[in-house]
């Protein structure tokens, strides 16, 4: 396959997007730097084919590394903007770091391939599926916790409403003429 189509064109697009983002608000400058650096590296790989053999021995590892770095960046940015609580970010950061470790250190996946007898791609999918399963379980725990809290709040609100109605009723029974005067004014 032509290296300009597989690396040069995506690299040029990423470089262009990164440069355009640099002119935007300060909040996206880190993302712009990320796109610029990755785009520049992809263009270098397209220009010097020797780099492709030296730097990119396995395209799956490169893709997994890019996904994990992007994943870590998005998670950190969400925490920075207070869109994701630190408590929940720990699982996402852990997932990104493990994926990055698998991308950088292929011996871990080679060991997993040897132990399970799977193909390389299937082993990677097993790791990704395991983390998705952990994340789904974590989300279920959080949703259960929120459901319990919502039920407790609903019960407290119902008790408070019943108490207010009882107080209003006893007040009306003590002062019936005030209640009639307010209804006549309405």
Q: How confident is the model at residue 156 (pLDDT cuts 50, 70, 90)?
A: very high
109 compared with 129, residue with greater pLDDT: 129
How far is it, in rounded angstroms, from Cα 24 to Cα 136? 35
How far is it, in rounded angstroms, from Cα 54 to Cα 44? 12
C-alpha pair distances (Å), 158 with each of 43, 120, 151, 154, 161? 64, 57, 11, 6, 5
| pLDDT for residue 159 | 96
Mean pLDDT calculated for residue range 128-150 = 86
| pLDDT for residue 161 | 96
Handedness of CA 65, 70, 72, 73 (dihedral sign): positive
> Dihedral of the CA atoms 29, 35, 37, 42 (nearest 10)?
-170
């Amino acid at each position: 396959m032509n290296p300009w189509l597989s690396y040069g064109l995506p690299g040029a697009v990423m470089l262009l997007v990164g440069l355009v983002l640099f002119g935007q608000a300060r909040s996206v400058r880190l993302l712009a730097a990320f796109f610029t650096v990755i785009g520049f590296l992809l263009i270098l790989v397209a220009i010097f084919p020797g780099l492709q053999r030296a730097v990119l021995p396995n395209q799956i590892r490169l893709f997994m590394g890019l996904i994990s770095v992007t994943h870590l960046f998005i998670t950190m940015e969400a925490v920075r903007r207070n869109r994701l609580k630190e408590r929940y970010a720990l699982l996402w950061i852990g997932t990104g770091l493990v994926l990055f470790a698998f991308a950088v250190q292929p011996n871990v996946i080679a060991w997993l391939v040897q132990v399970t007898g799977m193909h390389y791609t299937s082993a990677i999918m097993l790791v990704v599926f395991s983390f998705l399963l952990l994340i789904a379980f974590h989300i279920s725990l959080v949703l259960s916790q929120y459901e319990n809290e919502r039920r407790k709040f609903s019960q407290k609100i119902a008790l408070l409403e019943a108490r207010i109605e009882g107080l209003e009723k006893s007040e009306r029974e003590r002062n019936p003429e005030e209640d009639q005067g307010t209804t006549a004014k309405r």
